Amino acid sequence: MHDPDQPAPHTGDAGSSDPGAVDAVAVGRVAEKIEEMAALLTRRLFDERRRPGADSTLVERLLAERAACAADRAGLVDADARELARIEALYDAKLAENTGR
C-alpha cells in the first residue's frame, strides 16, 4: 500500500522531465508488436516443419528470428526512450513486411 507521506515512485510517464524516461504505455505497445511478430514466426515454423521436405535452413533462420524477438522483448525493461523508438520502428517494418499492413 502506498504511504501518502512518501513521494510516488517514478513510473517513467510521458510527462516526466527526463527526456530518456520511458512511458509504460509505449513499452506495452512495443511488447505487443514483438509478441505479434513472434507469433507469426511460430506459425511459419509450425507450417514449415509440417511440410514434406522442410527447409532446414529456413527453420534455423525462423528459430533465430524468434529468439531475437524474445531477446528484444526481455530488453524492453532496460530500454530508454531512444532504444524503445528504434525497436518499435524495427518491428513496425517487420510486421509490415510479413503481414502487408
pLDDT in tens, 12-34: 444 455 656 678 999 999 999 99
Residue 19 lies in a domain: no
Domain carrying residue 83: 24-99
Residue 12 lies in a domain: no
> What pLDDT score does 17 carry?
54
Does this model's pTM top 0.75? My answer is yes
Classified as helix, coil or strand, 8 is coil
What does the H/E/C string look like for 20-59? Answer: CCCCHHHHHHHHHHHHHHHHHHHHHHHHHHHCCCCCHHHH
Residue 11 lies in a domain: no
> What pLDDT score does 78 carry?
93
Residue 53 lies in a domain: yes
Residue 69 lies in a domain: yes
Residue 28 lies in a domain: yes
Question: How many domains would you assign to the chain?
Answer: 1
Report which DSSP code applies to 77. Answer: G
pLDDT at 44 over 60: yes
Residue 10 lies in a domain: no
